[in-house]
Chain A
């Protein structure tokens, strides 16, 4: 299995809702990432998990809460989002956060719309 799987593919949520995005990989990668991509912009790094520990938080608002329950799974919990948080959320994984000889593998993303 050489894929990163993200669910759901599309999500519409109200500003008072709580929802979660899920990301899964079975490549034995020990680093996992969340990126946010606004329309016509490049992806921007949000969080990095290395060996199931949060390694980087790029000053992301607390309404976004990441979680890494095990080495294969990465979640992004959403609460009290704003319409400007609407974007494509991409998950990625790599062999290791520090020594990586194979590059990053990205999922197909979750298209989030906040109404």
Chain B
């Protein structure tokens, strides 16, 4: 069974800091990996999608890397802002034969202080 762990579980930083969120998964047979953010009580917003053949993806201040063989992904946020405060979820898309499964990590709750 795919286990997806995110470290740290919670993080509080002052505005302007660069930070790294970590994700590890036990089953490396993944099709791709997606990072999402979730604001309290809301749905999921996709941030970055990394295909299994790729090593990293960038969007604005966000950069995500993927090392499939070691079962790890990191999300790097540059120059953090209070608006970045949210829960961040990584989700590897696990190969399942006819149907893949998107399995979510435990999440990192980020608070950026002004």
Contacts and interface: CB of A to CB of B under 8 A. Distances in A.
Interface of A: 6, 31, 33, 42-45, 48, 50, 55-56, 88, 90, 92, 97-109, 111
The CB with the most chain A CB atoms within 10 A, among B36, B99, B104, is that of B99
B104 A43 contact: yes
Contact of B104 (A42, A99, A101): A42
Nearest to B33: A103
Contact of A100 (B100, B104, B105): B100
Label chain A's interface by main secondary structure.
strand
Contacts, number: 65
B43 A106 contact: yes
Interface in B36-83: 36, 41-46, 49, 51
Closest 10 CB pairs of A and B: A42-B104, A108-B43, A103-B49, A106-B44, A55-B99, A97-B99, A109-B43, A103-B34, A106-B43, A43-B104
B93 A100 contact: yes
A46 B82 CA distance: 33
Interface residues of B, number: 27
B32 A100 contact: yes
A66 to B, nearest CB: 14
B107 A103 contact: no
B41 A90 contact: no
Nearest to B103: A45
Nearest to A50: B99
Nearest to B50: A103
22 contacts: A42-B89, A42-B106, A45-B102, A50-B99, A55-B99, A90-B43, A92-B44, A97-B98, A97-B99, A98-B97, A98-B99, A100-B93, A100-B100, A101-B51, A103-B32, A103-B34, A104-B93, A106-B36, A106-B43, A106-B45, A109-B42, A111-B41
